[in-house]
């Protein structure tokens, strides 16, 4: 049996998401370095950097990547934070599991964790956080209203 998703593959959305991720990483890392320079420890600096990056990435992904023209509701913000926490926990779990079992250590395992984080965060953003702004949702909304094609 062959099944196929009817959701269109949105290359531009993926490029935008990746662009936001690169900008977010540079911004967050800069904040971490600045916080370290101010005398904060590693954990506090990391927390400040990730929090600042999360705010920036939400704003850009909400408006630019997923095209939400209205202000974000508290529910969308909560889903975004929850998706981040799940993706970050998986990233951290991969790194810690690989290190504790002795399978892998060093930069390569962090790259694997980052890949898992990115994929989960993108999929969570598309199907959970911003689902009402995805092409299939727009098509379904028009079909429910009696129109077969979006305007």
What is the residue whose two structure tokens read 């429910």? 144
Say if pTM beats, i.e. exceeds, 0.95. no
Specify whether the CB–CB gap between 121 and 84 falls below 8 A: yes
pLDDT tens sequence across 58-70: 999 999 988 887 7
DSSP letter (8 states) at residue 132: G
Pairwise CA distance, residues 90 & 82, whole Å: 12
pLDDT tens sequence across 63-112: 998 888 777 889 999 999 999 999 989 988 888 888 788 776 667 777 88
Strand (E) positions, the chain? none
């Amino acid at each position: 049996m062959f099944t196929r998703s009817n959701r269109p593959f949105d290359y531009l959305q993926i490029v935008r998401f990746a662009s936001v991720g690169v900008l977010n990483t540079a911004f967050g890392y800069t904040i971490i370095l600045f916080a370290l320079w101010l005398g904060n420890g590693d954990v506090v600096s990391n927390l400040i950097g990730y929090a600042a990056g999360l705010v920036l990435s939400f704003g850009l992904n909400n408006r630019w990547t997923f095209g939400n023209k209205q202000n974000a509701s508290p529910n969308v913000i909560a889903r975004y934070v929850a998706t981040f926490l799940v993706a970050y926990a998986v990233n951290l779990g991969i790194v810690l599991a690989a290190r504790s079992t002795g399978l892998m250590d060093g930069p390569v395992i962090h790259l694997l964790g980052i890949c898992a984080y990115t994929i989960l965060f993108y999929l969570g953003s598309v199907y959970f956080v911003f689902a009402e702004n995805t092409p299939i949702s727009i098509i379904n909304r028009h079909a429910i209203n009696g129109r077969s094609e979006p305007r």
